[in-house]
Chain A
């Protein structure tokens, strides 16, 4: 099966995970070991150092590897650190970046219409997926509440929430799935027994993206869970890779 990991990272974070993947080779080695064909990748510098550094390094280091697809982080445009919005989008096009992350907690800004309205409007119009970790906080909101507030302001935003907790969170995210067609969830910690099957029966496979959360999490769990979920092979392939392929193809930086 063609696994396209939507949630992989490498680099040197200030606080390392139990078994770090400091170099791009570490990520590639793990992908080969597990049988993950492709990955959407962020560099630890993105949130641990600065977006300027992380955005640059990930492009440089993934360039030789066709299986790796770099991602960047956004910042508010008011400070101009990543250039004007059009310059930023042009740089994305040139670098082949088709998905972005927001780290409002670590980068200390408010992820809302006042602060990021121009960026989030552009992402909505251009169908560029925005990834956010469930633990991120902004405007006093965390996780699903933040996702809900963001989607209320930008209902056509393609938003991917990653790493939802191992305590099932279906009561939180299913209402958002029903309300906003752009909400997607990665499967890195969707460990709930029967969760993928139950979700697909109700909502179809289109909102789930295979993710590993490597190097924090062992990819094997999410892989075997999806590989043998009681769903059709067609749905399985969409979650494993097809949905992410579609989202990236629709993105127009």
Chain B
């Protein structure tokens, strides 16, 4: 292996690295209709994370992405049971505006939430839509990060729509989940134009060359790591980051340091 990074060598030798406690900024919890998950319980997820040196995951419950009233409570319960290993995003479904307000109202009461999660492509409702306004106002008031599923060419959550939201709410930290998958130029443009927009790597890391291009063009300080766990083995995403042509400083930024800064004081 001509990649002579000590960090890479340690990960390949032991599966983890002592000084690189990974933070997974994009994970889920619970079964999902379209996929078989062998490791779906919190305990099984913790096992996967321990094998890869993942210190903490920030999850949105799959159930919460469909039915927030039930799913967010379920997710909060997981955080209560495993406070040293889990944090959560409150998932919101804009197709039920009344419920969206009700969920925001119990954000503190449920506990364990460190941000909001939008899944607009699946909800078929644009991130620029009016129903999201209470969520944006809530996040703006608290400077609360929002993880958005984003996809290139989407009618609901494209990088260009993220830019529109970021222009309207410039103080909200926005995590572009999947980095606008496929529209890499658009995602980088949005991140460059909006300093509080982050490129989140889940699934994007697999595309050869994307990680190093993000680091070169936008800077590794604006790139966050996520796996969609229990979808994807943490080692898969970590391996893609490790074998990119970037420095160990970049790898540390992506795998944990940026998240430590963004979620300062909110992670175990």
Residues of A within 8 A of B (CB): 17-19, 32-35, 166-168, 170-171, 189, 191-195, 197-198, 214-225, 227-230
* A and B contact pairs by CB, cutoff 8 A, 21 listed: A17-B209, A18-B213, A33-B1, A34-B243, A35-B1, A166-B231, A167-B35, A191-B206, A192-B36, A192-B231, A192-B232, A193-B37, A193-B45, A193-B234, A194-B233, A198-B38, A215-B208, A218-B206, A221-B239, A223-B12, A224-B238
- Rounded to whole angstroms, the CA-CA distance of A218 and B241 in the bound complex is 9
Known contacts A224-B236, A225-B239: does B208 contact A217 (CB below 8 Å)? yes
Known: A32-B2, A195-B38; 16 extra A-B contacts, CB below 8 A, are: A33-B245, A35-B1, A35-B3, A166-B206, A168-B231, A189-B206, A191-B231, A191-B232, A192-B36, A193-B227, A193-B232, A194-B48, A198-B38, A218-B208, A220-B243, A228-B51
Query: Inside 8 A of B111's CB, which chain A residues have their CB?
Result: none
CB-CB under 8 A from A18, the residues of chain B are 184, 207-210, 213
A-B complex: 3 closest residue pairs judged by Cβ atoms: A19-B209, A220-B243, A224-B239
Supposing A168-B37, A218-B211 touch, asked if A193 and B233 sit within 8 A by C-beta, the answer is yes
Give A195 to B231 CA distance when docked, in angstroms.
10
Closest B residue to A168 by beta carbon equals B35
CB distance from A152 to the nearest CB of B (A): 23
Chain B residues, Cβ within 8 Å of A218:
205-209, 211, 239-240, 243-244
Q: Which residues of B contact A195 (CB under 8 A)?
A: 38, 233
Distance between Cα atoms of A32 and B238 in the complex (Å): 19
B11 / chain A contacts, CB cutoff of 8 Å: 224
Question: What's the minimum C-beta distance from B182 to chain A, rounded to whole angstroms?
Answer: 10
A170–B34 Cα gap in the complex (Å)?
Answer: 11
When distances are taken between beta carbons in the complex, the residues of chain A under 8 Å from B116 are: none
A193 with B39: CB separation less than 8 A: yes
Which residue of chain A has the shortest Cβ distance to B209 in the bound complex?
A: A19
Choose from B207, B237, B239 the contact partner of A223 (Cβ within 8 Å): B239
Q: Which residues of A contact B237 (CB under 8 A)?
A: 221
CB distance from B45 to the nearest CB of A (A): 8
Pick from B1, B184, B205, B231: contact of A193, CB under 8 Å:
B231
Interface residues of B in 55-75 (CB under 8 A from A): none
Question: Contact: A17 with B206, CB < 8 Å?
Answer: no
Task: For B235, list chain A residues within 8 Å (CB).
Answer: 221, 224-225, 227-228
Beyond A32-B2, A195-B233, A228-B15, whether A221 also contacts B240 by CB under 8 A is: yes
Contacts of A191 in B (CB 8 A): 206, 231-233, 236
What residues of chain B lie closer than 8 Å to A171, measured between beta carbons?
Answer: 36
Pick from A34, A217, A222: contact of B1, CB under 8 Å: A34
Closest to A166 in B: B203
B148 on interface, CB distance cutoff 8 Å: no
A-contacting residues, B236-266, CB 8 Å:
236-245
**Cα(A220)–Cα(B11), bound, Å:** 11
For residue B208, which residues in chain A have a CB less than 8 angstroms away from its CB? 17-19, 214-219
Indicate if the CB atoms of B38 and A217 lie closer than 8 Å: no
**Residues of chain B within 8 A of A166, CB atoms compared:** 203, 206, 231-232
Say how far B3's CB is from chain A's closest CB, in angstroms. 5
What is the chain B residue whose CB lies nearest that of A35?
Answer: B1
Which of B2, B211, B243 is A219 in contact with, Cβ under 8 Å? B243
- Bound together, the chains give a CA A192 to CA B205 distance in angstroms of 15
Provide the B124-153 mask, 1 if CB < 8 A to any CB of A, else 0. 000000000000000000000000000000
In the bound complex, how far is the Cα of B210 from the Cα of A197, in angstroms? 28
User: In the assembled complex, how far is the CB of residue B203 from the closest CB belonging to chain A, in whole angstroms?
Assistant: 6
- With A167-B34, A192-B38 known to touch, is A221 a contact of B206 (CB < 8 Å)? yes
- Pair B2/A228 contact, Cβ less than 8 Å: no
Chain B residues with Cβ under 8 A from A222's Cβ?
236, 239
